[in-house]
C-alpha cells in the first residue's frame, strides 16, 4: 500500500513534468508562430521594398538611358564641331600661308618698283628689270624688248641666255612671232609649263595706259622653279606697268638731258664767239 | 634679344634690298645692323674688318664669286664658326652639294621664299 502513493507521486511528478514540457512546447510553438508571423510580415515588407526599389531602379535606369542618349547626342555634336573647327583651323592656316605669300609678293613688288624708279639711267633700268626677272621670278632665259616707233619693231634691250643669237639683228617686227603678236595686241600670254629651250612660257607687254612700249618674254625658267604660279603672273603684270613707266621716263630724261647738253654747248659756243 | 649683325652679299641691289626688308622683320635685326657687299672681294674685306653673326651670299657675282668667298672665309680667314647661307639661282643638287662642301651652313635657291629664309636665319642665329 505504501508503494502506491509513491507511484502516484511519481506519476504526478512525471505528469507535472510532462505538463511543464507541454507548456514549454506550447510557449515555444507560440513563440515560433509569433516569429513566423513577424517574419512573414517582414517578407511582405521586404517584397514591398523590393518592388519600390525595383521601380526606382527602373526609373533610374530609364533616366540614365535618357541621359546617355543626350550625352551621346552632345558628344556627336561636339565631335562634329571639333571637326568643323579643325577644318576651319586648316583653312585659316592655309589662308595665313596665302596672305603671307601675298605679303611677300607685295614686298617684292614694292622693292622692285622702288628700284625701278630710283634711277633715270635707261641702262640701269634695264639692269634692274633683268635682276627682277632672274631673282624674283626665277627666269633663266628671257628677253626685254623695247618698241622702236620709227620702224614698228621690237628691239632687244636686255637679255639672259641665247635669245640674242637666235634673233636677226636683235629685232622682231610687230605682229611677228609671239613677242610681236603680244606687242601688237597688248595682251599678256602665259603657258602652263616652263617651255623647252626657245619656247616662250610667258610674254608680257609693257604698257603705259594702252600704249605698248615694250615686251618681256620669258623663254625658260630656272630648273628648280618648275612653273609660273598665278601669283607670279600677277607680279609680272604689275611689274610690267612699273617697268614700262621707268623705261619711258628714263629714255625721255636721257634724251632731254642729251638735248640740254647740246643746247648748253651751243650756247657756250655762241657766248665765246 | 641681343642685336645681330648680318652681311648680305649680292651684285643685285634689288635683291639686297629685298633681303634686308625681309630680315628686319626678325627680332634683333635692324637695318643699321645689316651690311651690304656687292661681290665676294668686297664681302671678304668686310668680314676681315667687321664682326658678323651671319652672312648671306649669292654665288654668281663679278670679281669673286660666292663659292670662292666662302672658301676664303673658311680657310684663309679661318672663320669656321661664322654661319653662311648661300642664296643662288643655281638650284641643282650638285650646286647645293658643292656649296655645302665649301662650308656653307645653308643653301636657298632663287627665287626664295622669304619665310623659309627667315626660318633658316633664325635657326642659324640660335634664336
- Cα separation of B97 and B82, whole Å? 19
Chain A residues within 8 A of B115 when measuring between CB atoms:
100, 104
Q: How high is the pLDDT of residue B47?
A: 96
- Are B59 and B86 spatial neighbours (Cβ–Cβ below 8 Å)? yes
Q: How high is the pLDDT of residue B37?
A: 96
- Regions of chain B with pLDDT less than 70: 1, 127
The continuous run of DSSP H or E covering B35 comes out as: strand B34-37
| C-alpha A228 chain-centroid distance | 20
Mutation to test the A interface, candidates B11, B13, B14, most A Cβ within 10 Å: B14
- ipTM exceeding cut-off 0.85 for this assembly: no
Q: How far is A74 from chain B (nearest CA, A)?
A: 41
- Cα separation of A70 and A117, whole Å? 68
Q: Are A107 and B89 within 8 A, CB to CB?
A: no
Instruction: Say which of A107, A110, A136 has its CB closest to residue B111.
Output: A136
Angle between helices B93-102 and B66-75 (to 10 degrees): 30
- Are A160 and A141 spatial neighbours (Cβ–Cβ below 8 Å)? yes
The SS3 assignment for B105 reads: coil
When computed from its CA atoms, the radius of gyration of chain B, rounded to whole angstroms, is: 13
Q: Are B14 and A138 within 8 A, CB to CB?
A: no
Residue that has been written with the C-alpha cell 673658311 in this structure: B74
Q: How high is the pLDDT of residue B115?
A: 86
Q: Which DSSP category does A137 fall into?
A: I
Q: How far is A137 from chain B (nearest CA, A)?
A: 6
Q: How high is the pLDDT of residue B43?
A: 96
**A4 and chain B in contact, CB less than 8 A:** no
pLDDT, one tens digit for every residue, chain A (273 residues): 456 788 888 888 888 888 888 889 999 999 999 999 999 999 999 999 999 999 999 999 999 999 999 999 999 999 999 999 999 999 999 999 889 888 888 888 888 889 899 999 999 999 999 999 998 888 989 999 999 988 989 999 999 988 878 777 788 888 888 899 999 999 999 887 655 555 678 999 999 988 999 999 998 888 888 888 888 888 888 889 999 999 999 999 999 999 999 999 999 988 886
Read off the C-alpha cell for A255: 634724251
- pTM score > 0.90 for this model? no
Instruction: Say which of B18, B89, B109 has its CB closest to residue A111.
Output: B18
- Cα separation of A133 and B111, whole Å? 10
Chain B residues within 8 A of A96 when measuring between CB atoms:
none
Amino acid at each position: 500500500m505504501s508503494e502506491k502513493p509513491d507511484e502516484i507521486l511519481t506519476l504526478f511528478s512525471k505528469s507535472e513534468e510532462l505538463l511543464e514540457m507541454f507548456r514549454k512546447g506550447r510557449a515555444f510553438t507560440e513563440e515560433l508562430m509569433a516569429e513566423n508571423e513577424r517574419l512573414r510580415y517582414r517578407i511582405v515588407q521586404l517584397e514591398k521594398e523590393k518592388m519600390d526599389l525595383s521601380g526606382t531602379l527602373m526609373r533610374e535606369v530609364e533616366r540614365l538611358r535618357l541621359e546617355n542618349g543626350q550625352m551621346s547626342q552632345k558628344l556627336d555634336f561636339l565631335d562634329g564641331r571639333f571637326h568643323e573647327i579643325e577644318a576651319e583651323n586648316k583653312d585659316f592656316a592655309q589662308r595665313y600661308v596665302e596672305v603671307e605669300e601675298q605679303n611677300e609678293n607685295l614686298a617684292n613688288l614694292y622693292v622692285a618698283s622702288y628700284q625701278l624708279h630710283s634711277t633715270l639711267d635707261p641702262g640701269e633700268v634695264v639692269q634692274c628689270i633683268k635682276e627682277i626677272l632672274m631673282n624674283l621670278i626665277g627666269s633663266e632665259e628671257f628677253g626685254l624688248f623695247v618698241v622702236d616707233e620709227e620702224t614698228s619693231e621690237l628691239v632687244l634691250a636686255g637679255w639672259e641666255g641665247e635669245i640674242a643669237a637666235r634673233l636677226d639683228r636683235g629685232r622682231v617686227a610687230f605682229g611677228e612671232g609671239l613677242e610681236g603678236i603680244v606687242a601688237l595686241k597688248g595682251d599678256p600670254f602665259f603657258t602652263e609649263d616652263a617651255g623647252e629651250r626657245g619656247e616662250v612660257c610667258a610674254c608680257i607687254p609693257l604698257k603705259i595706259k594702252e600704249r605698248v612700249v615694250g615686251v618681256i618674254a620669258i623663254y625658260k625658267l630656272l630648273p628648280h622653279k618648275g612653273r609660273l604660279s598665278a601669283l607670279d603672273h600677277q607680279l609680272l603684270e604689275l611689274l610690267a606697268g612699273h617697268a614700262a613707266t621707268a623705261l619711258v621716263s628714263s629714255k625721255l630724261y636721257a634724251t632731254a638731258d642729251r638735248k640740254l647738253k647740246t643746247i648748253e654747248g651751243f650756247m657756250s659756243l655762241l657766248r665765246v664767239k | 634679344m641681343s642685336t645681330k649683325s648680318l652681311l648680305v652679299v649680292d651684285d643685285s641691289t634689288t635683291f639686297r634690298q629685298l633681303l634686308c626688308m625681309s630680315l628686319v622683320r626678325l627680332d634683333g635685326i635692324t637695318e643699321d645692323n645689316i651690311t651690304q657687299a656687292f661681290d665676294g672681294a668686297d664681302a671678304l674685306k668686310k668680314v676681315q674688318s667687321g664682326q658678323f653673326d651671319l652672312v648671306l651670299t649669292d654665288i654668281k657675282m663679278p670679281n669673286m664669286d660666292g663659292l670662292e668667298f666662302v672658301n676664303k672665309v673658311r680657310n684663309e680667314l679661318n672663320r669656321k664658326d661664322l654661319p653662311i647661307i648661300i642664296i643662288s639661282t643655281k638650284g641643282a643638287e650638285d650646286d647645293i652639294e658643292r656649296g655645302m662642301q665649301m662650308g656653307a651652313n645653308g643653301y636657298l635657291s632663287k627665287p626664295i621664299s622669304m619665310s623659309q629664309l627667315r626660318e633658316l636665319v633664325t635657326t642659324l642665329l640660335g634664336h
